[in-house]
Amino acid sequence: GIQVEQSPPDLILQEGANSTLRCNFSDSVNNLQWFHQNPWGQLINLFYIPSGTKQNGRLSATTVATERYSLLYISSSQTTDSGVYFCAVEYTGNQFYFGTGTSLTVIP
């Protein structure tokens, strides 16, 4: 099956700092999503981005499908950004495969 690797596995930031999270995948994909899992366990949709660049406030994402990676940028981080960030890819037409996540802690 497809391999989905995220880096770094853990990240600690000072409030106000910027960061880049990376998702590498081992095969061509049809779709890619980024999620934020909050401390209560819910997965919040951030981006649905099979290719190109999207921005939503302080967050933006870029997927370069031909090179099999996606990046999530967080600018001016806030303590509420803490949690685990997952990317998930779909390539078979019937399910998404999740990466192992990046655990982000933003300290005030």
Tell me which residues touch another protein (CB under 8 A).
30-31, 33, 35, 40-43, 45, 48, 86, 88, 90, 93-96, 98-101
Nearer to another protein, 75 or 103 (CB): 103
Q: How far apart are CA 104 and CA 6, in angstroms?
A: 12
Beta-bridged to residue 74, according to DSSP, are: 19, 59
Distance of CA 60 to the CA centre of its chain: 10
Distance of CA 16 to the CA centre of its chain: 19
Residue 17 Cβ vs another protein, minimum distance, rounded to whole Å: 25
Give me 75's structure tokens: 């600018």
Residue 76 Cβ vs another protein, minimum distance, rounded to whole Å: 26
Residue 87 Cβ vs another protein, minimum distance, rounded to whole Å: 10
Q: How far apart are CA 89 and CA 23, in angstroms?
A: 10
Residue 46 Cβ vs another protein, minimum distance, rounded to whole Å: 11
Distance of CA 20 to the CA centre of its chain: 9
Nearer to another protein, 43 or 59 (CB): 43
Nearer to another protein, 13 or 32 (CB): 32
